[in-house]
Amino acid sequence: MAAEIVNPRSDERGSDTDGGMEGAPAEPFDPAFALHRGGKMAVQATVPVRDKDDLSLAYTPGVAKVCSAIAEQPELVHDYTWKSQVVAVVTDGTAVLGLGDIGPEASLPVMEGKAILFKQFGGVDAVPIALATTDADEIVETVVRLAPSFGGVNLEDISAPRCFEIERKLQERLDIPVFHDDQHGTAVVTLAALRNAARLTGRNLGDLRTVISGAGAAGVAIAKFLLAAGVGDVAVSDRKGIVSRDREDLTPVKRELAELTNKAGLSGSLESALAGADVFIGVSGGTVPEAAVASMAPGAFVFAMANPTPEIHPDVAHKYAAVVATGRSDFPNQINNVLAFPGIFAGALQVRASRITEGMKIAAADALADVVADELSADRVIPSPFDERVAPAVTAAVAAAARAEGVARR
């Protein structure tokens, strides 16, 4: 890989009271601030520059030969630069974690974190790019102009509904993968966990009636993805209740969602929709009353993924559900995007895919589920992010699917 994620200042982390960080909290020591001091990543060369001979090869005049060759055969850029192994992690800072619209500068620690996860879990180099604009067209134009330097684009923490438009327009104009992880990464890991929950309990995806709390980026993507994977019926709830065709207050995105989902014709509140439901998926926050959880079908699945407070606390969910998952690392079955995006991009980059298709995402979900298919229990329907089998399995599955779907170029 062309860049190694390192922190050259790792031996300089000190107390936050040493005057080195303006605006840091007054506590005598905060490990989060200590770890982030100076940033979490750096670029490290993969070739030596020890003397004039090395310099003449790494830079001028030797580099001119390589530049000329690429000018004559543009595809050589993949062989003689880092393009095919590096991803741009792009944000505008409008939907950062649970913090909301905090701006591009404040988003950088998260983008750096995303980059080191790419490297740690997928062997993929990534560059954080925080943009000082929230205009969808400006974001698209900026990324298009940056694209020659990258093999893929990971959109991150961009608020809905602009995230849908930005992803669509970028993929229309670029011949490299564009992937909004808040949508598709979440959907892939959710499907993998749902497949294994169904396996564990002897059920079929096609028989499951699912209710999703949240009609933002993740909720919309999960709903569409589950339907594409064969889940029987999905209803989505926003703050005003179930997204249904009879509502007149829907945005274009939600109007499209209403046409695809809710075959049962449900209306009204989330709580009413949960009566008899097989699956609850929470990507919204808030609290679901225990009585509504109790009304779900016997042996239900509860995936309450809001952080830091799940919509349904596991202690409550376990009273009624056969399988419980959250977005937190301190409970079993963590639905964590890091299980998906590093391997998905690694597989796409490996074959120089022009895009990431639905088939590639389904292949990723299937591979992820299969990692623990022989080890299933109520507390293990999804692997740990630190399971070393995950990234190779997802990478191989995505690369094979890209070839099968004709989007691979090697």
How confident is the model at residue 7, as a pLDDT?
Answer: 43
- Active-site residue 52, yes or no? no
Same domain, 165 and 186: no
Catalytic residue among 40, 114, 169, 224: 114
Is 249 within any annotated ligand binding site?
Answer: no
Is 182 within any annotated ligand binding site?
Answer: yes
Residue 120, CA distances (Å) to 38, 114, 266 in order: 19, 10, 44
3-state secondary structure of 91: strand
Same domain, 350 and 405: yes
Reference 397, options 365, 364, 368; nearest CA is 364
E strand or H helix at 129: strand 125-130
Same domain, 102 and 244: no
Q: Is the model's pLDDT at 11 over the cut of 50?
A: no
Last residue of a domain, one of 119, 147, 176: 176
User: For residues 317 and 53, what is the distance between their CA atoms, to the nearest angstrom?
Assistant: 66
CATH number for the domain harbouring residue 381: 3.40.50.720
How confident is the model at residue 13, as a pLDDT?
Answer: 34
- Active-site residue 114, yes or no? yes
In a domain, residue 68? The reply is no
Q: Is the model's pLDDT at 21 over the cut of 90?
A: no
Same domain, 159 and 199: no
Pure H helices in 9-135: 31-36, 52-58, 62-72, 77-80, 104-122
- Which of these ranges, 19-23, 216-220, 253-257, has the smallest mean pLDDT? 19-23
Count the domains in the chain. Answer: 2
CATH number for the domain harbouring residue 93: 3.40.50.10380
User: For residues 332 and 321, what is the distance between their CA atoms, to the nearest angstrom?
Assistant: 14
Instruction: Encode pLDDT of 331-343 as tens digits.
Output: 999 999 999 999 9
How confident is the model at residue 12, as a pLDDT?
Answer: 38
Same domain, 230 and 357: yes
Same domain, 301 and 336: yes
Last residue of a domain, one of 127, 156, 176: 176
Pure H helices in 123-210: 136-146, 162-173, 181-201
Please confirm whether the linkage preceding 161 is cis (ω < 30° from 0): yes
Token pair in block for residue 58 = 């790494």
Residue 262, CA distances (Å) to 47, 73, 257, 293 in order: 56, 51, 9, 19
Same domain, 163 and 199: no
Same domain, 224 and 162: no
User: For residues 382 and 373, what is the distance between their CA atoms, to the nearest angstrom?
Assistant: 9
Reference 384, options 189, 181, 187, 97; nearest CA is 189
Is 246 within any annotated ligand binding site?
Answer: no
In a domain, residue 59? The reply is no
Same domain, 227 and 342: yes
Same domain, 252 and 129: no
In a domain, residue 63? The reply is no
How confident is the model at residue 28, as a pLDDT?
Answer: 56
Instruction: Encode pLDDT of 343-374 as tens digits.
Output: 999 999 999 999 999 999 999 999 999 999 99
By residue range, what is the domain housing residue 259? Answer: 181-410
Its pTM stands at 0.90
Instruction: Encode pLDDT of 150-171 as tens digits.
Output: 999 999 999 989 999 999 999 9
Greatest Cα pair distance in the chain: 75
Is 307 within any annotated ligand binding site?
Answer: yes
In a domain, residue 387? The reply is yes
Average pLDDT for 24-42: 80
Q: At what angle do helices 341-350 and 390-404 cross, to 10 degrees?
A: 50
Same domain, 280 and 167: no
How confident is the model at residue 27, as a pLDDT?
Answer: 52
Residues present in the chain in total: 410
Last residue of a domain, one of 176, 210, 245: 176
Same domain, 135 and 217: no
Instruction: Encode pLDDT of 275-328 as tens digits.
Output: 999 999 999 988 999 999 999 999 999 999 998 899 999 999 999 999 999 999
Token pair in block for residue 392 = 């190779």
Q: Is the model's pLDDT at 186 over the cut of 60?
A: yes
